[in-house]
Structure formats: structure tokens, C-alpha cells
Amino acid sequence: MIYLILSGLVCIFVALFAIQNAMTVEVTFLAWTFTTSLVMVIFCCFLAGVLVTSLWVLKIKASHYIKDRQRKATIKDLETAKAEVEEKLEMQMHAERQKAAGTPVRNKETLGIIITGNKVYYARYGNRLSAGRQD
């Protein structure tokens, strides 16, 4: 209801402004000259200002969107790096516990031999499997 009252007051002020500034003016722009109402000149200037402001806000929002995407990518990369560091730390702590307990330590980075047919692969278990072939 308050918006309806405010919009009615704004309409009344615009109508009063238009009645009081109804005189005709001559406008010259570059090579053109034309006669129009003063209200129309002011209204066109207002619309030009709204357009420029809208384009400026759009530029700012686009730059914020791009920075936000970059920050999210950085966060994702940092979380991945954190998980890798935590995994390595857990492996080191496990090795230290086994060493303290006197059990043989199995290094997770260079563990395993895979035999398929007549081929022998030395496998590395970690984030990925990289094997070197030996016959």
C-alpha cells in the first residue's frame, strides 16, 4: 500500500513538472536542429543517464562474477591440495606408528608387483597407478 501511495505522489510531481516546463526549446546536436518541449529534453537526458548507469552496473556485476568464479576455482584447488597433504601426513603417521610398534613398514608409494601372463609390472599405489614393465 505504501508503494502505491509513493508512486501516486511521484506521478503528481512529474505532472506538475511537465506543466510548469511545457515551453518549447530549440535543440541543436551536431548538424541537426529541432524544436521540442523542455520536458522531452529533460526526459531524454534522464533516459541517457539511466542507460549509462545500467551499463556501468552491468560491467561491475560481470567483473564480480568473474572474480567469484576464479575464487571458487582457487578454493577447489586448495581443498584438493589440502586433501593430498592430509593423505601424505596420514601415511607418514601410519609409518611412524608401525615403526614404533616394530612391524615392517610398507611404503604406499612403491608397493606391489602385478604379474599378468609373462609380463611383470611394478606398480605404484597412490593417486594413480603408474607401472613399469619388466620381462
List per-residue pLDDT tens for the chain, 135 residues long.
Answer: 787 888 888 778 877 877 787 788 888 888 888 898 888 888 888 888 889 999 999 999 999 999 999 999 999 999 999 988 888 888 888 888 877 777 655 554 444 555 555 555 555 544 444 444 444
Global confidence as pTM: 0.48
Residues 13 and 60 in one domain: yes
- The predicted pLDDT at position 134 comes to 46
- Supply the range of the domain harboring residue 29: 9-76
Residues 72 and 26 in one domain: yes
Residues 63 and 18 in one domain: yes
Q: Which three cell numbers stand for residue 58?
A: 552491468
Q: Which three cell numbers stand for residue 98?
A: 608401525
Answer yes or no: are the C-beta atoms of 44 and 87 closer than 8 Å. no
Domain count, the chain: 2
